[in-house]
Amino acid sequence: MSFIVQVSYFAAAVLFIYGLKRMSSPLHARQGIVWAGIGMVIATVATLLHPALHGWLNFLLIILGIAIGGYLAWITGKKVKMTDMPQMVALYNGMGGGAAAAIAGVELVRMEEMSTTVQLLAVIGASIGTIAFSGSLIAYAKLQGLMRSTIRFPKQQYVNATVFGVLVILGLIIAFSSTYSMNTLSVFFILALLFGIMMTIPIGGGDMPVVISLFNALTGLAVGFEGFVLENPAMMIAGTVVGSAGILLTQLMAKAMNRPISNVLFSNFGDAPSGEGQAVTGSMKPIEASDVAIMMAFAEKVVIIPGYGMAVAQAQHKVWELVKILKDRGVTVKFAIHPVAGRMPGHMNVLLAEAGVPYDIIYDLDEINEEFPTTDVVLVIGANDVVNPAARTDPSSPIYGMPILNADKAKNVIVIKRGKGTGFSGIENHLFFGDNTRMLYGDATAMANDLVAGVKEI
């Protein structure tokens, strides 16, 4: 039976890797999810058959946990709005880190004979899993609007460093001793929870995509470490793959913002006050939807840049309807996606996929930036920092050096925006004041509907 269980774990791990590979492309991401799900079912059944599992109470607790967790996930997954997807991802990711930390806690409480290496891995998994748990909950609370975007106080980083230092010392005591007390273990977990909170509360909402990706990586690593503790190959491989993929994604997103991860975690950007950087000259020039419809209907090439404003308005379906009408008129239409647009990695891609937008007309920053000078109309829907030319021209701007979509180089730029305020990060967007930019004020769905009606009338 033990051989069958180990083979099942290995098969589950292979399916996890295959599923993750399939998820690398939107064309077959759904298949990847299905294959990874099959792997999870195999791993779960193998756990129920494990020789070390005995007693009806253990079976009852496992089945009860699966039933409760599965039911809650099914209900919340069905009901969650696309605008709330980032906070759901943060919440679920936190649960994974918490589960890994709980496994480590159980093993450390048992105080059974473990090698120093295994005990050290348990401590590492416990610490990063707990940090990911509490940090993800704070990220969820910020995205859900349950707490302020940033909370800062004097000497905050010094306080954080002190908490982390004490956490490391207690972790080493626990890892290299077999006589640690329950009080020491309890304080260790409390400090890990506290550090996860303390490192997340000063980070602004503009940096949440990077933070969510980082905590996802920590959760994966925690699961991998606990896999070594439990001698479970499925957890080892799956956790390591998720952790490494999360670290790579975090690095890519930080690169897309032209900022090191340390700057994201320890600087004050992400909730920057308006007014930083050079003063903006000129004024925002409004335009009517009927005029925009004429402009787009007779254009040769149109590029649409979606942002969080599109997600809030749930405008993706109307936007896709507009695109189909324009394509029927012979207009070439493409979507341009910035890596950090929205509130989580791939947020805009998910929204467009939900509306049925074909993947072959969706382009990332590197693929489309050279096309903007030959584009007749760029339609910006709720995006801000990712199209702000101050990132190229203003050394005093907090986003200076950040790669952006070069929308300002197009012949005409139309920006759909609710009002004249700054974006989520609080930085004034120089694009809105450009000579070739016109502001279409209003709700994104309502404006897209007016554009559809206007193009149809032409």
Active site residue 385: yes
Q: For residues 117 and 158, is the Cβ–Cβ distance under 8 A?
A: no
Report the amino acid identity of residue 369: N
Of 385, 394, 408, 450, the active-site residue reads 385
**HSE (CB half, 13 Å, CA atoms) of 400?**
9
Cα→Cα distances 168→219, 252, 434, Å = 18, 28, 52
> Exposure string (b/e) for 207-232, b if CB count within 10 Å is 16 or more?
bbbbbbbbbbbbbbbbbbbbbbbbeb
Instruction: For tokens 């070390």, name the residue.
Output: 52
368-373, Cβ contacts within 8 angstroms, sequence gap of 24 or more: 368/303, 368/334, 368/336, 368/405, 369/405, 369/406, 371/301, 371/303, 371/334, 372/303, 372/405, 372/406, 372/407, 372/408, 372/409, 372/410, 373/406, 373/409, 373/410
Rounded Cα–Cα distance for residues 5 and 1 (Å)? 6
The DSSP symbol for 279 reads P
Name residues whose C-beta falls within 8 Å of residue 7's C-beta, 6 or more positions apart in sequence: none
Rounded Cα–Cα distance for residues 228 and 420 (Å)? 54
Q: Identify how many contiguous H helices and E strands the chain contains and give both numbers.
A: 17, 6
Rounded Cα–Cα distance for residues 278 and 62 (Å)? 59
Give the residue among 443, 421, 442 at the shortest CA–CA distance from 432: 421
Q: Annotated active-site positions, please?
A: 385
